[in-house]
Every structure is written in structure tokens, then in C-alpha cells.
Chains A and B, each alone.
Chain A
Amino acid sequence: MKKIFKILVFVFAVFFISNNVFASSETLTEASGNSIAQTFQLNSTTTINSITMPIAGSLPTGKTPAYAQFVFYSLATIDSTTYTGLAGNVSTYFDGSCISSPSQRLTFSALPTTLTNKTFDLAVPVTLSAGYYRLVIFMWYNNNSDQSLACGNDGRMNVTYSYLTDYMIGNRQYYTNSGVINKDSDVEIALNATLTPTITNSTPAQSSTVSSNFTITGVYTNDSTYDSVMYELFDDTNAGVDALVIKCADAKVGFGISYSCNYQGRINTSYRLTPYLYNSNYPYPFGSLLATNGSISFNTNAELNIPPIGGQTCSTFDVGCYVVNGIKYLLYPSDLTLSNFTSLMDIIKNKPPIGYVSGVITGLGAININATPTLSFASFTPITIYIFTPIRTGLIVVLWFGFMFVLFKRFQQLDI
């Protein structure tokens, strides 16, 4: 039993450490360009009865029926911390509840290929006070094509939601009956672009300078002055495996400007550029990226070309240097061979059953002791100063001494 426990602890620890030490890539699960959502500001209290928007798209094979859900989130800034809360929910199904009347659903038997300025009457009008909001439109579909959407937990198990533009495309023109949301813009194009590098030397070096230069154009709203642009370049060589190679420092929005970013790394065959906006004051940007035009150039410079065997350039008669280089060549592992394990780990850590362990570890990593407290024990300052803080300090001392004692006993009984 002890052995099983130790093995479990070992497996847990290995994944814990591997997740933190060997995690060299980052996978984006939600690119900002993948959602139909709009941040807007209300100047006064407004009741919204309907939303009008153009809509087009198609459901994935075997996914039917589908219906749309409109949710308003409120954005508020308190003491420099931004809180997001549900402000209004206009649809059939949210937060575990279920409206039984099918007539309140915005149901599609199949998504329309083109629906110009379709007006969706909201089942329940939403009254929002002045402030900042974000409207998110979710698309729901049933995983099981011959099973209708059901209410409650059992039904929810069979329902998956996806960000809308995976299956629907909108051009971000929303407006309501009261005209408060009016985002005039050009037709949006895909922000994700797959880019194939032009390799300038016939034998790609293991280490080369990757330069990316591209132009971003965008649109401002009145509140977009806080928006910044971030752009990320992913190595897309292995299908389905995103490896972030460049995450450039943000620059204040300057649309129509050519950006460049340098990265020293290996050359692969396919890269994907994903620019997005973010807002440091609010969880979502107010502007929209409309188009990107990009090219990536891959250059090698002399010192980064294929290095000499052993990695060191020797003078003509330096025999010792040659010997050292020879030993290095024979015994030193290359970065490429070692990185294979990292790539493999990146794949496996998302697969069952290990993926569940990774997921739990990732989830546990999100534990944050500085989150907004649910309960408040220290509302009266003197209690904190004279009671809680001394107790806490004492517990810290006791815990560390206890740990040292346990450690001492552990090493006494260590059998290796």
C-alpha cells in the first residue's frame, strides 16, 4: 500500500515538475479573433428588446439542432481590479437553469448560410444601467445528433459550447432596437494567417534568426485608446500542436504600422501569426482588429550558421581544440534531440489518462490566495493586528518546525 502511495506521489510530482520546468510552449485555447463578442458603453440606463446582426455559418457535421444564446457581461473597475459579472442573460440556458419553453429559444435547424441583419427578439428584455458591457453570443449544439437538447445536468453533459466563429461568422455589426450598440465597421477577415517561410539558405541551420514583419490595420472606437496590440507567432509545423515561438512585447495601438520582431530559433516549415488586442484596464478590448497583412522572413547570419563540429572554431594548429571539439561532437547531446522529448511531452500531457492529471495540476496551479475572499474574518482592523496576525505568524513557525522534524525523522528512516 505504501509503495502504491509512493508511486502515486511520484507520478504526481513528476507531472507537477514537468509541467512547471519543462513547459516550453504555450497553447492558446481562445484566440481573441475567435469569438463574436462586442464591448460597448452605455451612457444611460437602457432597455434592450432585440439585437440585430448579420449572421452566417454552418454547423459541424452531425451537430444539430443549434440555438444561440446572448449574454451581457458587466465590466466594472474597483480599486484597480477589474471584475466581470453577469449582467443580463437573454436566452434559454445558462448557469444551470433552463427555460422550458422552446419558443424562447433562438433555434436553428441548421445555421443559415446568410442572414442579413436578422433581428432576434429577446425572450426577456434586458435593462442595463450606464456602464461598460460585453455582449457575447454563444452557439450551442448537441453532441449527439439524434438527441434533443435537454434541461438539467444530464442534458448539459451532452452539450458543448463553442465560440461562435468556429462555426459562424459575423462582421461585428450589432445594434439593438434602441440603437445603443452600433459598430459600423468593415467586413472582418480572418486574423489567423498561416505563413510559410522563405528559407534563405539551402541547408537550414539549427539555429537561425527568425524575423517577422507585418502590418496590422484596425478600427478605433471612442474607448479604444486603452487598447494595445499583442501578436504571437506559433510554430505550426506539427499539425494540431501549437508551439509559441514569439510573443512580442505589446505596443500601443498604431494601426497601419509595420511591426517587426526577432526571434532566434530553429527554422521550421509553417508558422501562424495571431495578433490580437487587449485592454489593460478592462478584460476585453474596445476596438477591433480588421485585417492583417503579414510576411515572415527567415534569415541566417554568419555566426548562427551550422556551427563547426563541437561548436567551437579552432585555429589551424590548435590540436587541443580539435580534440575537445571531437569529444563534444561524440558526447554532447544536441538541442534538437532533447527538444523531441519536450514536443512529445506537450502532446501526451493533453491525452487521457495523463491529460486529466495535467488538467488537475493546471487547475490547482490556478489556486490564488489573493482572490476576492468569500468570507471576511478581518473586517475589524484591531482583530487582524492583535489576534489573527500573531496566530498566523505562530502557525508559520510551528509548520516549519514540524516540517523540519518530519524531514529529520524521514532521513533517519531513509533506506536507499
Chain B
Amino acid sequence: MITNGLIYLIYGLVYLITLPIQKLADVSMSSNFASSITTANGYISSFNSIIPVDTIGQILTLFLAIETAVLTYKLIMWLIRRIPTQS
């Protein structure tokens, strides 16, 4: 109940902040974007026999995950330091 209440408060705040965004129309990507991906797929697939594209993808994902974890940690610590008496 306590946690639920806190979560509802946070949700209400987030909902209120994002309300203007929610009222906007959905975005639609140009069909050219999808066709460019399709075209890129053909070239990526071609070079995959020499360059390990899947490995590059895995490494990039790992790198992003680690950087995200570090930034999240810093963000949380920054928030904690906003609390009076915490430094």
C-alpha cells in the first residue's frame, strides 16, 4: 500500500509532465526510411561475410549497456545528494 501510494504519486507526476506530449499526434516515419533500411540490409549482408557485423552489434550493445548502468548509478547518486544532510 505504501509502495503503491508512492508509485501512484510518481506516476501522477510523470503523467502530468508528459500530458502535453500525450496530446500530440502520433509520429509516422517516412516510407523512405524503411526502404533505406532494406537497402542497407543488402549491403550489410554482403559485407558480413568479411566483416563480423553481428559481433560489432554485440559489442556496441554491451558498451551501451555498461555506459547506461554507469550513468544511471550517477543519476541516482546525484538525486540522493539532493536530500538534505546527504553529501
Q: Which residues of A contact B (CB under 8 A)?
A: 6-7, 9-10, 12-14, 16-17, 329-334, 337-338, 340-341, 344, 347-348, 350-352, 354-356, 359-360, 363-364, 366-378, 384, 388, 391-392, 395-396, 399-400, 403, 406-407, 410, 414, 416
Contacts and interface: CB of A to CB of B under 8 A. Distances in A.
Contacts of B38: 366, 371
Interface of A, secondary structure class, is helix
Contact of B46 (A6, A350, A375, A396): A375
**Of residues B15, B40, B52, B65, which shows the largest number of chain A Cβ atoms within 10 Å of its Cβ?**
B52
Interface string B16-42: 001001101111010001100111111
Contacts of A370: 45
B64 A9 contact: yes
Contacts of A341: 11, 14
Contacts of B29: 356, 359-360, 363
B64 A13 contact: yes
A12 B26 contact: no
8 contacts: A16-B64, A337-B7, A355-B27, A371-B38, A373-B49, A388-B50, A392-B52, A395-B52
Contacts of A407: 66
B4 A416 contact: no
B46 A377 contact: yes
Contacts of B77: 416
Contacts of A378: 49
A344 B45 contact: no
Contacts of B54: 369
* Chain B, interface residues (CB within 8 Å), range: 35 or more
Contact of B59 (A348, A367, A399, A414): A399
Nearest to B23: A351
B71 A377 contact: no
A10 B70 CA distance: 9
Contact of B34 (A7, A329, A366, A414): A366
B52 to A, nearest CB: 5
A400 B7 contact: no
Given A351-B27, A400-B59, A10 B46 contact: no
B3 A371 contact: no
A348 B4 contact: no
Listed from nearest, the 3 A-B pairs whose CB atoms lie closest are A374-B42, A355-B27, A371-B41
B63 to A, nearest CB: 7
Contacts of A334: 4
A351 B42 contact: no
B83 interface: no
Contacts of A17: 65, 68
B55 interface: yes
Contacts of B40: 367
Given A351-B27, A359-B27, A340 B11 contact: yes
A57 B71 CA distance: 54
B80 interface: no
B72 to A, nearest CB: 8
Nearest to A338: B7
A351 B45 contact: no
A344 B70 contact: no
A377 B48 CA distance: 10
A36 to B, nearest CB: 19
B60 to A, nearest CB: 9
Contacts of B68: 9-10, 13-14, 17
Contacts of A369: 41, 44-45, 48, 53-54
B52 A373 contact: no
B44 A367 contact: yes
A407 B67 CA distance: 10
B27 A399 contact: no
A347 B46 contact: no
Contact of A371 (B4, B15, B45, B50): B45
Contacts of B50: 377, 388, 391-392, 395
B26 A350 contact: yes
B37 A374 contact: no
B45 A374 contact: yes
B79 interface: no
Nearest to A326: B1
A364 B11 CA distance: 30
Contacts of A329: 1
Contacts of A13: 64-65, 67-68
